[in-house]
Amino acid sequence: MPYWLHKKDTPTWDGSEHATRADALLALTAQGLKGWIITFIATDEEKNLWYAREYTRLQSGEYIMPPWFGEYWYSSRYATSHYAHLSTAVPSMVAYTPDDEFGVEDRQLRVRPGKYLKTFAPTLEQKAIDGYVADVKALTGGRYHIARDPETIVKIFMNGPSSCMDRSHFPHAPRHPCACYGDSDLGVAYIGDPLTRIVARAVVWPDRQTYSVVYGDEQLSRLLRADGYTSAGPHGAMIRIVEDELGRELCPYIDDVKSANRTADLRSSQLILRADNRGDYAMQRTSGYLDDEERSVCERCNEEHDADSALCDSCMEDSCTCDFCSHAFWPDDMDGITWRLENTESYSCGCTSVGTCEVCEVSYWVSRGLTDCRCSEHESTEYCDHCDSYYEPADSEQHADCDHQADLPLTADPTEGQTV
């Protein structure tokens, strides 16, 4: 933890090193140095320790992240240097680490949210700053609400964190797919104002005290857990079926739910949510409609997907094409069969086997009767019937690597060659 006393606009090492800032100040005063400054330079070990400490506090939930944590202007410049969070002493304010000296000493500066934003995001419009300030107030209030009526739930999705069910995907929908959650077993827990801005939301089953994926600030999940909620999909819950202005049945994308069945009473217009794919309707679809003509089932994993192909995108990405029979296969299904030669880009589905080249002892795919790897560097090799091995042709009449003589043609002059 060195402190350097040096003349301004000169390298630190041109000055003197001191163990503490107090020592450096004492030297500065005693020597009456004019135009000299004190600079703190942390060691790499000290930096890594305080970075890790602050990162752990954020990830563990000890710190509440500010509502702008995921914004590019912050994540690209300040997320791994400021480690900004809502102050643990004064939650309505933002605390951050301005430099390494504060970090090593585990100290933070505390400022109002508006001041922090104006200082480090000067291009933000005042309307955006006011919105973030309101979000901080909502987060520090330690309260969340649960909406059960369709109208409020639709406003939450329209004004909440971005997702496939937000305003950008359903900007003018007279009936929003998420209205299905209203007046049913489920509700939506949220932080913020449904009319203006939602900081966080999650689908909940109040009677079972469970919640699904949290969109937005994770503070909501901490508040729900504090009230006894646990994270689980709403399997077995019933939701309503609503229709749009043309009479088409609507349904939202539902996290942690694969499919659904209509209730036994078809007149009830309700769905029972399932954890598997055996229901009549797929629930993880973004079209907003209950019965989508593009519904497909992957031939390999049996998962629902929106494409027309026989395989879902995930299985297509995981597949390989056999270099010998051109069929698609999946390494995970090979049960220990070698499917790729080491250090090569050659693939086999198991229709061929692995051999060892007799010339260079390199592994290769045994196919079409090959007995060597056909490496370009061995194109000139020949096979000796006498010693049952490959050799490089030599100028002499004998092999370079054995005492057997080569099969040479009969010649008219025995002095020019041997007969056999």
Position 332 scores a pLDDT of 72
Question: 330: which 2 tokens?
Answer: 């999946």
Give the β-pairing of 210-211 and 197-205.
Answer: antiparallel
Which long-range contacts (C-beta less than 8 Å, at least 24 apart) are formed by 4-7?
Answer: 4/38, 4/39, 4/40, 4/41, 5/33, 5/36, 5/37, 5/38, 6/36, 6/37, 6/39, 7/33, 7/35, 7/36, 7/37
Whole-angstrom Cα distance, residue 190 to residue 73?
Answer: 26
Question: Are 94 and 114 within 8 A, CB to CB?
Answer: no
Of 416, 415, 396, 414, nearest to 405 by C-alpha is 396
pLDDT tens per residue, range 255-271: 999 989 888 765 567 89
- What integer is the mean pLDDT of 126-153? 87
Position 165 scores a pLDDT of 87
Question: For residue 238, which phi and psi values (nearest 5 degrees)?
Answer: -110, 135
Of 47, 45, 117, nearest to 84 by C-alpha is 117
pLDDT tens per residue, range 302-347: 776 655 567 777 787 788 777 666 677 777 766 545 555 555 556 6
Would you place residue 411 in the very low, low, confident or very high pLDDT band (cuts 50, 70, 90)?
very low
Position 27 scores a pLDDT of 85
pLDDT tens per residue, range 343-377: 555 666 666 666 666 566 566 555 544 444 555 44
Any residues with CB less than 8 A from the CB of 66 and at least 6 apart, and which?
Answer: 74, 84, 85, 86, 94, 113, 132, 136
- What integer is the mean pLDDT of 268-297? 79
Q: Is 220 left (phi over 0), alpha (psi -120 to 50) or beta?
A: alpha
pLDDT tens per residue, range 92-110: 899 999 999 999 999 999 9
Check: pTM over 0.85? Answer yes or no.
no
Position 330 scores a pLDDT of 77
Q: Is 350 left (phi over 0), alpha (psi -120 to 50) or beta?
A: left
Percent of the chain with pLDDT over 90: 30
Place of tokens 């010693």: 387
How far out from the chain centre does Cα 131 lie? 28
Of 123, 117, 10, nearest to 66 by C-alpha is 117
Position 310 scores a pLDDT of 72
Question: Are 296 and 304 within 8 A, CB to CB?
Answer: yes
DSSP lists the bridge partners of residue 64 as 86
- Burial category of 204 from C-beta neighbours within 10 Å (exposed 0-12, middle 13-18, buried 19 and up): buried
